[in-house]
Amino acid sequence: MRTQGIIGSVIMAAGGMCPLMHVPIIGNWNYFDIDQRLAIAFYVMVVLGLIGSFAQKLGLIRFAGWGAVALVLITLAGIYFKAHDSFSFLHFKKLVNLAAGLVKYKWGWYVIAAGAFILITVRKPKVIRVN
C-alpha cells in the first residue's frame, strides 16, 4: 500500500510538470502556466497522497486520487471554455471554432491520469495468519 501510494503521487507530481497544452506562438504550458490556483490545489492533492502513503491511511490516498481526477476535469473544462471565450470577438462561428481548435492538449494529461489511477486502486494488504 505504501509503495503504490508513493509511486502514484510521484507520477502525478511529474505529470503536473509535463506539457499539458500547446498554445500557438506561446508554446507548451504545464499546470502552473495554465492556472496557479489550480496547480496549487493539484499539488496539495499530491502531498495528501504522500502523507496518506506514509501514514498508511487508505481513505486519504483514495481521496487524493479522486480529488486529482476532479481537478483535472475542472481544468480541462476551463481550458475548453477559455479557448472558446478568448476568440469570441470573431463574428463568425466557424472562425471561433478554428481559432479555438489551435489550442491542443498534450501528453501530460495521460501521466496525471496514470498516477491518479494508481492512487485510486490502492488496497489494503491481506493479513496472512500462520498457525
Q: pTM of this prediction?
A: 0.83
- For the chain, 131 residues long, give each residue's pLDDT as a single digit of tens: 789 999 999 999 999 999 988 888 888 888 888 889 999 999 999 999 999 999 999 999 999 999 999 999 999 888 888 777 766 677 777 777 777 778 888 999 999 999 999 999 998 888 888 87
Cα separation, 8 vs 114, in Å, equals 8
Q: What angle do CA 27, 37, 77 make, to 5 degrees?
A: 65
